């Protein structure tokens, strides 16, 4: 029996009016969908990395994770609203409907968008990036800062 399903993203983005950096994933894993929160698999290094970057303790609860994100003016969201997927496999994703990131951009102070992985970057470039609106070149690699209109300075990079 296959676990291929058409799934709609089950939980909302995490951001507030002070968020300045959007970390854009692709689609929640099975464990994240079960937890109803971002990066829910216990072996995922995301929370350890974010805590290390900001010199904080690794959060364990959803409340602690949310607080870490918002305290450091981050935002979390995924590029895919719904798709057909087998388990948690990014390589199985098809029938993609993108998420709308415009509300996050409009209701926060987002200056940078980082894609957390190859699929996230591919979806960002396909559905969200508009070269005519940006003064920056795309890095065309996953886990790098993506182009945004309001960015200034030299391109940054970061591997999540």
Q: Which of 142, 43, 140 is nearest to 88 (CA)?
A: 43
Q: How many CB atoms lie within 10 A of CB 45?
A: 11
Question: Residues, the chain, total?
Answer: 160
44 is catalytic: yes
| 141 token code pair | 């690699």
Enumerate the H helices of the chain as residue ranges: 30-35, 46-53, 62-71, 102-106, 118-123
112 Cβ contact partners less than 8 Å away, ≥ 6 residues apart: 20, 21, 22, 145, 148, 151, 156
User: Which among 6, 18, 44, 107 is annotated as catalytic?
Assistant: 44
- Residue 139: is it exposed, middle or buried by C-beta count within 10 angstroms (0-12/13-18/19+)? middle
Catalytic residues: 44
């Amino acid at each position: 029996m296959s676990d291929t399903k058409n799934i709609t993203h089950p939980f909302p983005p995490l951001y507030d009016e002070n968020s300045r950096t959007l970390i854009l994933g692709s689609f929640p894993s099975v464990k994240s969908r079960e937890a109803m929160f971002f990066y829910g698999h216990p072996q995922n290094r995301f929370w350890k990395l974010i805590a290390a970057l900001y010199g904080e303790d690794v959060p364990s609860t959803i409340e602690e994770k949310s607080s870490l994100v918002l305290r450091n003016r981050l935002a979390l969201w995924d590029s895919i609203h719904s798709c057909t997927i087998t388990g948690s496999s990014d390589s199985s994703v098809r029938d993609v409907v993108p998420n709308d990131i415009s509300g996050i951009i409009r209701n926060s102070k987002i200056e940078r968008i980082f894609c957390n992985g190859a699929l996230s970057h591919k979806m960002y470039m396909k559905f969200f990036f508009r070269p005519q609106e940006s003064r920056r070149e795309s890095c065309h690699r996953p886990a790098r800062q993506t182009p945004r209109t309001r960015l200034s300075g030299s391109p940054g990079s970061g591997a999540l």
